[in-house]
Amino acid sequence: MLQSKLFTKTQKEDPREEESTNAKLLIRAGYVDKTMAGVYTFLPLGWKVIKKIEEIIRREMVALGGEEISMPTLQPKKNWETTGRYDAYDTLFKFQSFFTKTDYVLGPTHEEIVSPLVGKFVSSYKDLPVRIFQIQNKFRDEKRSKSGLLRGREFLMKDLYSFDADPKELEKYYEKVKKSYAKIFRAVGIGRQTYLTYASGGTFSKYSHEFQTLTNAGEDAIYVCDKCRLAVNREIIEDVHGACPECGNKNLREEKAIEVGNIFPLKTRFSSAFGLKFAGANGVENEIFMGCYGIGLNRLMGTIVEVSHDERGIIWPEAVAPFKFHIVELKKGKGRALYEKLIKSGAEVLYDDRDATAGEKFADADLIGIPWRLVVSDKTKDKVEVRKRSESKSKLISYGSLGQLL
RNA sequence: CGGGGUGUCGUAUAGUGGCAGUACGCAUGCUUUGGGAGCAUGUAGUCCCAGUUCGAUUCUGGGCACCCCGACCA
């Protein structure tokens, strides 16, 4: 990609109306544009990051046996009345068709759609288990959206739903998903700061589990057990008597964190509301046990920025960076050959071919945060100055040895 | 939803009851070219609606928008 053709530009100043680091940096660098409070447009750079995150998650979902579908955002009121959540779900967007006076809901989650859907195809134990996921926009009427991408009113979410024949199968699958989630957070580069966290199970079960990423930008408080490398959400710290639920350790440290994922054993809460049943091998009808598993992609992207930046800008982990290489030429046309060489080898490259000063180009490169900066100028002669965004030292290497970076 | 704060060119800001200023950006030209470069010329703005006033961007009221704290948050 030629940077001169990129339709967005960077901003030199922090936007006045943003306080959070993720919003400031993502807006300044041209990853996102705020359409209104809690609602963001993803610009070319930002959408590339989302796509990277999405692919990492999708791969893991497929490995879990997930089949991908796409359920509607526009949902019937009736289904929400069936589960009793039309009135109980306090961030539900409700509205009425101006013409037909039909009542609708903008989907904040999809149990109300996926449960009856599965009921249409599952009637025997032979049809189970079912694992379905989608990556789709969700709408929640947050009283107060905040912190840039961390709490929005419209956001992209991956939601996986599992349907099993009995609680044991659900539990087994639940544990599998837990491991996959940990893998996902490692893959996007925040594994070190992310903890499996015991949280309230609401009315359905004793616990649910969250994945919490430590950062001061977080809105949750959790208690970390360093022995087990897990944590307890403050909302249930009383219930566990201030001790680690695994080892009983009472020496927990309190941290602020962002919830980047949540997994939930729903059991029969929704399947029974929609009358889901299946015939067992003995012909007897049984209830279906559900689980749901969510990851907010926008929030994850914002979280990565929160834990990986410096005063100059974003430092993307390579796996989610919009490009791997950022060629910065300080002499018009000098980067062309390098650009074509890298493109030919299949690399993702942003090529700063703009007619701008060195300082401006460096500042933009730091702000945008692509992992490998490749500078070519009169000074570098027939070589390339390579510098990792995450490090301060650089080195001169020949074009020929660039291959080792690929 | 309760509390607090803020709305001035595209961005960031100054200022005023009487022609609204600066920097960056953008446009043109020349000079520059390893950390947001220089000179010149140009471009563009007071959130909305009322009220007070000879006159409102400024004062008053209402509205809208955005941010922060709290409450809420599968």
pLDDT tens string A331-348:
999 999 999 999 999 999
Q: Is residue A16 part of a domain?
A: no
Both A267 and A392 in a single domain? no
Asked if A109 and A207 sit in the same domain, the reply is: yes
The domain that holds A65 is classified in CATH as 3.30.930.10
Verify that A302 and A341 share a domain, yes or no: no
Name the nt closest to A91 by C-alpha to C1'. B73
| Closest alpha carbon to A246 in A261, A229, A258 | A229
Nearest protein residue by Cα to C1' of nucleotide B35: A359
**CA A312 → C1' B39, Å?**
30
For chain A, the domain total comes to 2
Q: Decide if A13 is inside a domain.
A: no
Q: What are phi and psi of A110, to 5 degrees?
A: -130, 25
Q: Which nucleotides of B are covered by protein (CB under 7 A)?
A: 1-2, 6, 8, 11-13, 24-26, 32-37, 65-74
- The CA–C1' separation of A376 and B73, in angstroms, is 50
Asked whether residue A24 carries a pLDDT value surpassing 80, the answer given is yes
Q: Which of A273, A288, A310 is the last residue of a domain?
A: A310
Residue A170, pLDDT score: 96
Task: Give the pLDDT score at A375.
Answer: 96
pLDDT value for A129: 98
Six-digit token string for A160: 């996986």
| The two structure tokens encoding residue A121 | 């195809």
Check whether A202 has a pLDDT greater than 80: no
Mean pLDDT of A40-64: 98
Q: Which amino acid belongs to residue A404? A: Q
- Indicate the pLDDT class of residue A204, thresholds 50, 70 and 90: low
Residue A124 located in a structural domain: yes
pLDDT of residue A174: 97
A129 and A257 together in one domain? yes
Residues A369 and A242 in one domain: no
Confidence of residue A200 (pLDDT cuts 50, 70, 90): confident
One domain for residues A302 and A331 = no
Do A341 and A270 sit in the same domain of this protein? no
pLDDT at A351: 96
> Is A115 buried (19+), middle (13-18) or exposed (0-12) by CB count in 10 A?
buried
Is residue A391 included in any domain, yes or no? yes
Q: For residue A39, which nucleotide's C1' is closest to its Cα?
A: B66
Give me the interface pTM, i.e. the ipTM: 0.94
**Which domain range does residue A171 map to?**
21-310
Q: Are residues A87 and A194 in the same domain?
A: yes
Tokens of A293: 């598993």
Is the domain of A333 the same as that of A223?
Answer: no
Q: How far apart are CA A183 and CA A173, in angstroms?
A: 15
- Which nucleotide is the nearest neighbour of A356, by CA and C1'? B33
Same domain, A140 and A254: yes
The whole-chain average pLDDT of chain A stands at 95
> CB-based contacts of A148: which residues, under 8 Å, 6+ apart?
A18, A20, A21, A22, A23, A24, A26, A302
Pick the last residue of a domain from A310, A340, A360: A310
So what's the pLDDT on residue A406?
80
Tens of pLDDT, residue by residue over A238-274, are: 889 999 999 999 999 999 999 999 999 999 999 999 9
Per-residue model confidence (pLDDT) at position A387 = 96
In chain A, % of residues over pLDDT 90: 94
Nucleotide nearest the Cα atom of A150 (by C1'): B73
Question: Under a CB-based contact definition with an 8 Å cutoff, are residues A148 and A22 in contact?
Answer: yes
Nearest to A53 by CA among A315, A371, A313, A304: A304
Residue-level pLDDT at A149: 96
Q: What average pLDDT does this structure show over A145-172?
A: 96
Torsion of CA A383, A388, A392, A397, to 10 degrees: -20
Between the CA of A358 and the C1' of B39, what is the distance in angstroms? 20
pLDDT tops 70 at residue A286: yes
Domain shared by A276 and A340, yes or no: no
A102 and A216 belong to one structural domain: yes
pLDDT, tens only, A369-396:
999 999 999 999 999 999 999 999 999 9
